[in-house]
Amino acid sequence: MDHSRIIVPLDYSEPKLALELVEKLQPALCRVKVGKELFTKAGPVMVEKLISKGFDVFLDLKYHDIPTTVAKACAVAADLGVWMVNVHASGGSEMMSLAREEIEKKSHHPLLIGVTILTSMNEEALRELGYQCSVEEQVMRLAQLASDAGLDGVVCSAQEVKMLRDNLGKEFKLVTPGIRPAGSDNNDQERVMTPGQAINAGSDYLVIGRPITQAVDPVQVLKNIEEEICAASMAV
Ligand code: C5P
């Protein structure tokens, strides 16, 4: 892997706070994620600013709409120069394939990632939507659909990594939130794994927020996590 596997979410509504954190971080040590909150406030200008500082940007807007609308949005994200962009796999294979096609027409090709089942959803929530299967079965189904539609990978919980890695091969990218270095606060994450456990299970990229963003010395925390990841990668 060319770069760090750590993705730091910039979950701020104030661009100033996001930039203050970014000033402490280094592109060699992490990538950054811009989600709906920061993007709604600061827009593409913020994304361009982060890219100009040398960061790989994961544009986490989870597109879900008719195929043409999603594909055009992905094409614009490619023009913006983001490193990774995502769509909801439940938008269906036609939506995902068209997004892939539109991105391929561009000179810069971001990684195109599918969102399976949000980890905030449980089986009861699936029933409410009319699904009769388990969360795991639905995650597997959507990840397979994403893979068949030519997506580069999916966002999933660390608990699902092994199943997806075993079924979808080693090139398929698995991006996992809910990661906590040993000894840090779980915050509102229910089922967490340490960075080492997630890498051992087969995760490619780890989204790690508060343990880094709320640390007194975020760079030191990043370096410690990087060491743990390196040790785990050698053992895989
Ligand atoms: O590490 P921390 O819990 O602070 O990370 C929170 C970030 O991870 C947020 O950007 C959130 O959107 C993202 N995320 C999550 N759980 C998911 C998917 C994404 O916490 N299942």
Residue where the block lists tokens 């995760």: 203
Region 190-217: mean pLDDT is 93
Whose alpha carbon is nearest atom 2 of ligand 1?
Answer: 209
Average pLDDT of the chain is 95
Distances, alpha carbon 119 to alpha carbons 81, 158, 165, in Å? 28, 10, 18
pLDDT of 232 above 90: no
DSSP assigned state of 208: -
Whole-number Å distance between alpha carbons of 87 and 71: 10
User: Which residue's entry shows tokens 């939506």?
Assistant: 95
Q: Kindly tell me if the per-residue pLDDT of 58 is higher than 90.
A: yes
pLDDT at 126 exceeding the cut of 70: yes
CB 191 within 8 A of CB 159: yes
Amino acid at 96: M
Per-residue pLDDT, 119: 84
pLDDT of residue 218: 95
Question: Which residues lie closer than 8 Å to 166 by C-beta, 6 or more apart?
Answer: none
What's the pTM? 0.95
Using the predicted structure, report yes or no on whether residue 30 has a pLDDT greater than 90: yes
- At 183 the pLDDT is 83
Distance in angstroms (rounded) separating the CA atoms of residues 21 and 189: 22
Token pair listed for 70? 């999603």
Q: Which two tokens stand for residue 225?
A: 């996590």
pLDDT band of 81, cuts 50, 70, 90: very high
Find, among 57, 50, 62, the residue nearest to 19 by Cα.
50
Q: Is the pLDDT of residue 1 over 70?
A: no
pLDDT at residue 2 in the model: 60
Within a domain: 143: yes
Q: Say if residue 184's pLDDT is above 90.
A: no
* Residue 125 predicted with pLDDT over 70: yes
Q: Which residues pair with 86 in a beta bridge?
A: 113
pLDDT band at residue 83 under the 50/70/90 scheme: very high
Q: Report CA(105)–ligand 1 centroid distance (Å).
A: 31
Do the Cβ atoms of 62 and 80 come closer than 8 Å?
no
Please state the rounded mean pLDDT for residues 74-88: 98
Question: Domain span at residue 147?
Answer: 6-235
Look at residue 141 and tell me whether its pLDDT is greater than 70. yes
**Total structural domains within the chain:** 1
Q: 55 pLDDT exceeds 80?
A: yes
195 lines ligand 1 (CB under 6 A): no
The reply to whether ligand 1 has any atom less than 6 angstroms from the CB of 177 is: yes
Based on C-alpha coordinates, what's the Rg of the chain? 17
Within a domain: 1: no
> Is the confidence at residue 236, as pLDDT, over 70?
no
Minimal-distance CA residue to ligand 1 atom 4: 209
Percentage of residues of the chain with pLDDT beyond 70: 99
For residue 177, how far is its CA from the centre of ligand 1 (angstroms)? Answer: 5
Residue 86: CATH number of its domain: 3.20.20.70
Residue 23 lies in a domain: yes
Q: Is the CB of 11 under 6 A from ligand 1?
A: yes
- What does the alpha-carbon distance between residue 23 and residue 138 come to, in Å, rounded to a whole number? 40
